[in-house]
Structure formats: C-alpha cells, structure tokens
Structure 1
Amino acid sequence: MKSLILTAAAGLFLATSAHAGVIESACNRSDRAAGKRQLCNCIQQVADFTLDRRDQRLAARFFKDPHKAQEIRQSSRANDEVFWKRYREFGSAAESYCS
C-alpha cells in the first residue's frame, strides 16, 4: 500500500511539473526568480486567467530578453498596443494576487 501511495505521489509530481506553463517555465529559468518556484507558479496561474496562449508565449520571452518588452511597449503597431494593455493588466493582477 505504501508503495502504491509513493508511486501515485511521484506520478502527480511529474504530471504537475510536465504541465508548467510557458511563463512559469521562463520565470523558473530566470536569474531573478532563483528559488522562487511558488511565485513563478502563482504568476502562471494569473497568466492562465488573463492572457491567451499567444500572449503568454510573447510575455515569456521578456524573462530572457527584457529589452523585447521595451520594444513592444514603445511600438506604434496597433497589435502591440493592444497586447501591451493586456500585459499591463496581467502584471497588475499578478502583483496583487502573488505578493
């Protein structure tokens, strides 16, 4: 019985780890979030509620290349402006929910 419970727990851990979102994965790999897995998980949860998959992939790039965020913020393209509004709302929500 004990072996069955340990096997189930290991499977649950692997399933949870394998399904980390793109933002959570990028956050965990970043230097700034070292040792803050709970924070990265929380940020991903907020992203799941506020950003679609495409937005999440773009936002995840900001962890590796912060200058990309600056380029999009300053862009005059309509799509970038709309994305930046959603991204700011996501950032505010993550700050409130995850702090």
Structure 2
Amino acid sequence: MTKLICAALIGVVTIPLFSTMAEASTMSRACLRSDRPAATRSMCRCIQQVANQNLSRTDQKMAATFFSEPHKAQVIRQSDRSSHEKFWLRYKEFGSVVAASCGHLR
C-alpha cells in the first residue's frame, strides 16, 4: 500500500512551472527536488493544490519527507503511535485524491 501511495505521489507526478520558487510550497518543492522522472512541475503543483485542501501544514511537512526518504512512509505506516495512525489515514485519503485529481498529468 505504501509503495502504491508513494508511486502515486512521486512516480506519477508532473509539475507546472512556478514563476518563482517562492510560490512553491512544502510538497511541491519536495516533489520537484525528487529524482523521479514523472515529478514534473504540473504534477507537483497539482499535488500541492490537493495537499493545501486536504492536509495541515504539519501533515504536509511530514509527507514532504517521503519524497527524499520513501522508507519513512513505511515506518510511519507501521508505527504504533496513535498520531502516526491518524496521520496515515489522512495521508491515504490525500493519496486517493491526488490519484483522482492529478492522474491525468502523467
């Protein structure tokens, strides 16, 4: 499941150009910095837009780390901490919305 979500967020991501890097936020910057070929500007922008609607800033900061540390997603998913469990439920929903909203950008 984690691999699927990571693939949806990292491997399938394309991002539109931002006029300045100041316009890019936490998730889009992490996406753009990833080494995934599908991390285009349009995909990363779409991911950021979905994140803004579905994740808190704190959630976005944690999720952004998954771009550079994919294994961290697995650690969070398998954690017994209730805060991680609650985050993971929100993150799964976020992943579903990204797939539905941004999947056409592949």
More helix by share: 1
Q: 1:63 to 1:41 in 2, by over 3 A?
A: same
For 2:25, give the aligned amino acid: G
- Normalised TM-score (structure 2): 0.76
After superposition, where does 1:34-73 map in structure 2 within 5 Å?
A: 36-73=40-77
User: Is contact 2:31-2:39 (8 Å) kept?
Assistant: no
Distance 1:18 1:34 in 2: 22
- Normalised TM-score (structure 1): 0.82
- In the alignment, does 2:33 pair up with 1:29? yes
Larger relative contact order (Cα-Cα within 8 Å, sequence gap ≥ 6): 2
> Which runs of 5 or more residues in structure 1 are unaligned?
1-11
Deviation for aligned residue 1:64 = 0.3
User: What is the RMSD of the two structures over their aligned residues, measured on CA atoms?
Assistant: 1.5
Distance 2:53 2:72 in 1: 23
Matched residue SS, 1:13: coil
Aligned length: 86
User: Is contact 2:30-2:68 (8 Å) kept?
Assistant: yes
Distance 1:35 1:58 in 2: 18
**Once superposed, which parts of structure 1, at least 4 consecutive aligned residues long, lie more than 2 Å away?**
none
Percent of aligned pairs with the same residue? 52
For structure 1, which segment, 55-64 or 24-33, has the greater mean C-alpha deviation from structure 2 after superposition? 24-33
Which structure has the greater CA radius of gyration?
Answer: 1
